[in-house]
Amino acid sequence: MGSFKCSVFILVLHLLEGAVSKSLIQLNNNGYEGIVIAIDPNVPEDETLIQQIKDMVTQASPYLFEATERRFYFKKVAILIPEKWKTKPEYVRPKLETYKNADVLVAESTAPGNDEPYTEQMGNCGEKGERIHFTPDFLAGKKLAQYGPQGRVFVHEWAHLRWGVYDEYNNNQKFYFSNGKRQAVRCSADITGKNVINKCQGGSCVTKSCKLDKVTGLYEQGCEFIPHSLQTVKASIMFAQSIDSVVEFCTEKNHNKEAPNLQNQKCNLRSTWEVISDSEDFKKTTPMTTQPPTPTFSLLQIGQRIVCLVLDKSGSMANGDRLNRLNQAGKLFLLQTVEQGSWVGMVTFDSVAHVQSELIQINSDVERNALTKSLPTVATGGTSICSGLRSAFAVIRKKYSTDGSEIVLLTDGEDNTISSCFNEVKQSGAIIHTVALGPSAARELEELSKMTGGLQTYASDQAQNNGLIDAFGALSSGNGADSQRSIQLESKGLTLQNNQWMNGTVLVDSTVGKDTLFLITWTKQPPKILLWDPSKKKQDGFVVDANTKMAYLQIPGTAKVGIWSYSLQASSQTLTLTVTSRPSSATVPPITVTSKINKNTGKFPSAMTVYAKIHQGASPILRATVTAIIESVNGKTVTLELLDNGAGADATKDDGVYSRYFTAYDANGRYSVKVWALGGINAASQRLIPQQNGAMYIPGWIENGEVKWNPPRPEINKNDPQSKQVCFSRTSSGGSFVASGVPQAPIPDLFPPCQITDLKAKIHGYKFINLTWTAPGDDYDHGRAHKYIIRISANILDLRDKFNDSIQVNTSDLIPKEANSEEVFVFTPENITFENGTDLFIAVQAIDKANLKSEISNIARVSLFIPPEIPPEIPSPSLPCPEINVNSTIPGLHILKIMWKWLGELQLSVAL
């Protein structure tokens, strides 16, 4: 097709909690191991839930095995049990398993009756999903009629999660035209059923045949395709796994390529089995000749947090005020970030390791302050990272097993011996978070995070970017309750001259406010600090630490909701401001910004993709302003506005996931990411938005010729208080990635426009076709494309496979707009038959000024429907009518009266 494939390495920002850790799933001899199913801490204790999870996976395994032609099955599953549940001898402490890296989350529904199973998918076709969501009621079998057996649903969701396929139904468009005939959106097209509507009035409902919409020619609003309960077709699991006969994924042979569903839109009309066959899993396996074993389960119960700081104090830490900045960041972590009840120890290292503090449980400010006094103050000696790690293991083992413990490792130095302790790290069961400080930190450092599922961050020597404090502020617990989690509201820095002021505001919303901390740092002399609460009351009482060059103020109780104002004055130095808080309520979920690093290395010219997910509980936050700041090892920063528009890098519009491509490389090495998220008067929290990727809700079944309806799906409550506008601010570290293969300046233009994924087409006046789409850019979704090529065909596969041979539309008057603008183009089809009942398929390709071409867009379709002419109105009789005695016995009078009545009724019906 002549298109430049948009090969994308995925970078996902971690905003509040640090980068969401990678899944621990591994494929071992056709069996999936390391699957983590977590029970949310807010789920009431119920041991039967554990058995229900086991039953679901056990039922799913043979179904998956046969559906994948004997290739895959579920082998080992870990179930994470909340800390508050009763302890049992068979419950053991997790190792690398955490709520952050759980593959399946079992949580209460956010609204009564909303038990829809679904999978979060941020990426494109073929890319792994984020997490599967089930509710306890679903696992208990209370939704069997609507979704089918739990094991079958798990396989449906697993295909989303593991292989990046999409659903083959469409809740927003349930019917379409094909060759002039109305079809239900389904796959395969051989699934049988009836198109009916359930008309309800006054508490009683009647099933009726669907009427036609006179404008579209399709069925009226509310019409449903109801499948027969008895079927013979075997495909497809991504349409309706709840149908008993369905035991396979659609293949190229039986896939319904014309159906307007996400699988066709996202995956270029390919069947789900074609996508699965292209996966790494498929390529690494061959069909088994024997039956797989039954899945095995480990029961893991979350315990107290155990964390040891491992901090570099080698001679290079004296450069660029690094040691002092380490103290500032370390104090934020110890005073605010780490949760009450946690056990914390500290080790420093240069050429050898030094134990600064054994494990201490944090029960009050006394322990927090004691630990801050152990932070290093003198930098000297070489760099031996493994010495620090081994010493940390020893500190932890004096009191606990290292399983599930955490190590925060900071270093700025090179160390060629770091790989010598990789095996010890793997065997320890500890999670290692790495902080690379400055341009020369050991290259192998990130390997420690990768192998243990820890967070990796990078902080430059540019103090005004506040990167080191952001990195430590992101280290909240992967298992802690939401109500205890530290949330960063603001992080800002500025270099001031000649008694300049650094002025600004911080928004404290109603979901946070507990333990609110204002932290200010400087590089030379203490600045003048002014802070006012929302009532304009000046706040005093800052604790000043002159040695560490920082001051902080803990707001007692819960901080007032509203706008806090600050003014800082200094000369010839750099100031930073950091504001953190905790949720104000244990029952109202806070607004959070989360994400993950899917690919943390990228080779030029592969674009990176930045994702940020903003939610309040399970409800997405829409219309927020989200900005990413990406800083290279050279100190150059690039600002990206992240969008939730369903175009370019963004997979789905209005799902609370904001995305953008990054292409502005300027050097090889580490890049740090920082994000601001601001909810103003336009931001809103939306509840009960139907999930894009999940098991289909069956509205009813036809049994013995009779339609048996299921309860209707829960509707969006537009008057729900959580759907109202919300104001908030959040900022945090987005982790880091490493770039390679970047050429020296000037950087060549090797980035094409990104694929158009939201092309839509409508017919106007039975002659004109109106196209709309979101403009791509010159480089992916940045800048302005040079031109568009639009082609049409009456055959959908010809358009896909022979795009350059298809009929081209004249676009000489179509000048591309700036990226992310709405494009509108109207044309009349030429050189092709376009008459009543005709299906026409359309696709667009963007080309930049370097003649680099995007992938072909999603294929839009129009079906020409010309409604039949309405018969002319029959005029009423105009002859004079004699007066007739109704009691007359004149012959034929009775027939005359009947005809007169009939003519009157006919006139009335024509008028209507």
Alpha carbons 103 and 21: distance in angstroms, whole number: 11
Alpha carbons 786 and 539: distance in angstroms, whole number: 55
Alpha carbons 596 and 121: distance in angstroms, whole number: 12
Q: Specify the residue for token string 């797989």.
A: 292
Burial class (CB within 10 angstroms; exposed 0-12, middle 13-18, buried 19+) of 106: buried
Alpha carbons 320 and 635: distance in angstroms, whole number: 14
Alpha carbons 356 and 365: distance in angstroms, whole number: 18
SS3 of 467, please?
helix
**Cβ proximity of 840 and 797 under 8 Å:** no
Q: Which helix (H) or strand (E) holds 164?
A: none
Query: DSSP letters along 542-580, please?
Result: PEEETTTTEEEEEPSSBPPSEEEEEEEEESSEEEEEEEE
Which residues make Cβ contacts (< 8 Å) with residue 525, sequence separation at least 6?
570, 573
Determine which one of 97, 157, 406, 631 is catalytic.
157
How far CA 440 is from CA of 379, 463, 521, 736, 864, in Å, comes to 16, 17, 24, 15, 64
Question: 159 — phi, psi (to 5°)?
Answer: -65, -35
Alpha carbons 256 and 339: distance in angstroms, whole number: 52
Structure tokens at 230: 């008895």
Query: CB-hemisphere CA count at 13 Å for 397?
Result: 9
The answer to whether residue 905 is catalytic is no
What is the gyration radius of the CA atoms in the chain, in angstroms? 32
How far CA 344 is from CA of 110, 167, 538, 837, in Å, comes to 35, 46, 35, 72
Question: Closest by alpha carbon to 62, among 18, 31, 38, 85?
Answer: 31
Amino acid making up residue 295: P
Alpha carbons 897 and 894: distance in angstroms, whole number: 5
Question: Closest by alpha carbon to 595, among 569, 570, 575, 615?
Answer: 615
Express the helix, strand and coil content of the chain in percent, nearest 5 each.
20, 35, 50
Terminal-residue alpha carbon distance, the chain: 54
Q: How many residues does the chain have?
A: 912
Classify strands 118-120 and 193-201 as parallel, antiparallel or unpaired: unpaired
**Cβ proximity of 751 and 607 under 8 Å:** yes
Question: Closest by alpha carbon to 257, among 239, 270, 275?
Answer: 270
How far CA 485 is from CA of 337, 381, 457, 584, 591, in Å, comes to 8, 36, 19, 11, 12
Residues carrying an active site annotation: 157
